[in-house]
A and B are shown apart, each in its own frame.
Chain A
């Protein structure tokens, strides 16, 4: 257990539905990252927060994806009008931003779009 939690762990949804995932980082960490990972591939960067500010967003992220981090604590990732290509593991990580900037990953949320 790294101290980063994600909810839910698994989500099955029908195409066209909206889904929302939650990430609770390590409490003293001010950086939070979202990644997407498909089978056999490395994690793909989606977005990054420094406290409550969203500083970077991948150009691969379509307008159907949105992330928030109100008050610089937990974060949510919403996918609207899901497509089968959205099926993947969604990983959240946090870091202190101090020397080394080691990222601590949560267990991930596995999304299956049918």
Chain B
């Protein structure tokens, strides 16, 4: 199972773009990269998922270089409500082994 490494914490200000990078050097061919957001006392919430290149949805973008050994979650124009913990996960979503390893995540603080 691929292990991920993320910064423990980040600080930003309202209106700025935030980029959180995740390292996954031993990612396997069948692995996808998924990001979740978690607010205190709530369960995690799916943000975005990708396999290669770039994926964009209504809340974020995910950039994955050709070697797939890292990925960057980009949050455009953050607001105070984006203050949360962000988790990067790597795993084979199609396989029967669905045990994903969750790291410590990145605690993002958005300041006014």
Contacts and interface: CB of A to CB of B under 8 A. Distances in A.
Interface residues of A, number: 29
Interface of B is mostly: loop
Interface in A58-114: 58, 89, 91, 93, 100-108, 110
A105 B43 contact: yes
B49 to A, nearest CB: 5
Contacts of A55: 96, 98
Contacts, number: 59
Given A2-B43, A105-B44, A107-B42, A50 B100 contact: no
Contacts of B99: 45, 48, 56, 58
A44 B102 contact: yes
Nearest to A93: B43
Interface of B: 32, 34, 36, 41-46, 49, 87, 93-94, 96-105
Interface of A: 2, 4, 31, 33, 35, 40-45, 48, 50, 55-56, 58, 89, 91, 93, 100-108, 110
